[in-house]
Amino acid sequence: MATHAAVQEARGQAAGDPSIVVEGLRKSFGKNVAVDGLSFTVHPGEIFGLLGPNGAGKSTTLSIMAGLIRPDSGDVKIGGHSVIRETQRAQRLMGVVPQGLAVYEELTAAQNLDYFAKLRGIEKKRRRQEIEEILELVGLSGVAHRKVAQYSGGMKRRLNVGIGLLGRPRVLLLDEPTVGIDPQSRRHILDSVRRLAESGMAVVYTTHYMEEVEYLCSRLAIIDRGRVIAHGPIDEVRALAGDAVVLRLPFPRGVLDEAAKVESLQNTLPMPVEVTSGELRIVLPQGSRQAPAVIEELQRHGVPLDGMRLESPNLETVFLSLTGKALRDGKAAEEGAMA
Ligand SMILES: Nc1ncnc2c1ncn2[C@@H]1O[C@H](COP(=O)(O)OP(=O)(O)O)[C@@H](O)[C@H]1O
Ligand SMILES: [Mg+2]
């Protein structure tokens, strides 16, 4: 008979005590519900993905987890300690990489790390070794003594991640750590996160790039406007798309430029249609057999069909078919392309 642990493992969940327990989080700002009943657990060595578009509630969730803002209800336990009742004990176990850059431009990377290490109360002897290890991990050893002001955006982001690693935390929270950076720095950050998890860290990784979740995470929650729209092991979440595929057409400029035409397409087709700055995407819930009818409709609207293609289900398809909208805009999609 399968043990409980074996069953958990088969479900993509590690056995043993979770490092992170998030239970029934809710948080509103006035009438705006930013987080609406979010629960998940993360075990040592696991990378949990929190995937959602802008305004989904990712940063609010992470700020609550980091003990920076209080939820209206629910709790977060880090290594068994409540971030509400035992804030400092919980905070000592975790590293946080905020969405905004929190580095001093006038200092070097080494000086930044030294400064934040002192703030964390890391003693001198350990500090030096830890800083060297971190610089190595984030790939900044060669430029450690250069002023951050001279760094590229990607290098600053890597330093931002490095600062979150001070004190060798058991739990790491990352808030969109790769937004708007070059593919090489991005790959570097993703690989560093992977290595940290392999060494036993429990990681929560928020992003609006589904490729990052595909690359890193064993389990995830997809959130939209505070609500969890899908949650579980990545294969199970992907399967929620069912037979759905997405018909993608490069944006037919000059043909669909008029908002009225887009709207009439959205009204005549019985499925979600999304127009991003780069293309038209249409979810076919029953799969490619729906393509001929849709293509006929597009032709009736005078949409050119050059470069049309069908995409097999992925997390983006899940998001599109559950919410009827794209996870990100066209510009972000280009930035998000994996190298
Ligand atoms: N301090 C705040 N005051 C008022 N509204 C806020 C505040 N922080 C976030 N919000 C709102 O809460 C929602 C979720 O925001 P956020 O957590 O930043 O989303 P994400 O990080 O996924 O983009 C948004 O509608 C945002 O405008
Ligand atoms: Mg955010």
CATH assignment at residue 288 = 3.30.70
Q: Is the domain of 27 the same as that of 91?
A: yes
Tokens 């930044």 sit on residue: 112
CA of 60 to the centre of ligand 1 (A): 6
Atom of ligand 1 nearest to the CA of 223: 22
Count of Cβ atoms closer than 10 Å to residue 91 Cβ: 19
Q: Residue 99 class from Cβ within 10 Å (0-12 exposed, 13-18 middle, 19+ buried)?
A: middle
Q: How many domains does the chain have?
A: 2
Helices and strands per DSSP (H, E), number in the chain: 13, 14
| Domain boundary, last residue among 218, 236, 254 | 236
Distance of CA 309 to the CA centre of its chain: 26
Task: Report residue 142 as tokens.
Answer: 């060669």
For residue 199, being part of any structural domain is answered with: yes
Give CA–CA dist 294/159, Å, rounded: 48
Please give the residue range of the domain that contains residue 261. 245-312
| Domain boundary, last residue among 212, 236, 260 | 236
For residue 280, being part of any structural domain is answered with: yes
Task: Report residue 24 as tokens.
Answer: 């029934």
Q: Is the domain of 230 the same as that of 257?
A: no
Tokens 């190595």 sit on residue: 136
Q: Is the domain of 27 the same as that of 172?
A: yes
Distances (CA, A) of 312 to 86, 163, 246, 323: 46, 39, 7, 18
Q: Is the domain of 257 the same as that of 223?
A: no
Ligand 1 is surrounded, with C-beta below 6 A, by 29, 32, 34, 52, 54-60
For residue 207, being part of any structural domain is answered with: yes
For residue 318, being part of any structural domain is answered with: no
Instruction: Please report, in tens digits, the pLDDT of each residue of the chain (339 residues total).
Output: 445 545 545 444 456 799 999 999 999 999 999 999 999 999 999 999 999 999 999 999 999 999 999 999 999 999 999 999 999 999 999 999 999 999 999 999 999 999 999 999 999 999 999 999 999 999 999 999 999 999 999 999 999 999 999 999 999 999 999 988 899 999 999 999 999 999 999 999 999 998 999 999 999 999 999 999 999 999 999 888 888 888 888 865 665 555 566 677 778 888 878 777 677 888 888 888 999 999 898 888 877 777 888 887 788 888 887 887 777 644 333 333 443
Count of Cβ atoms closer than 10 Å to residue 126 Cβ: 12
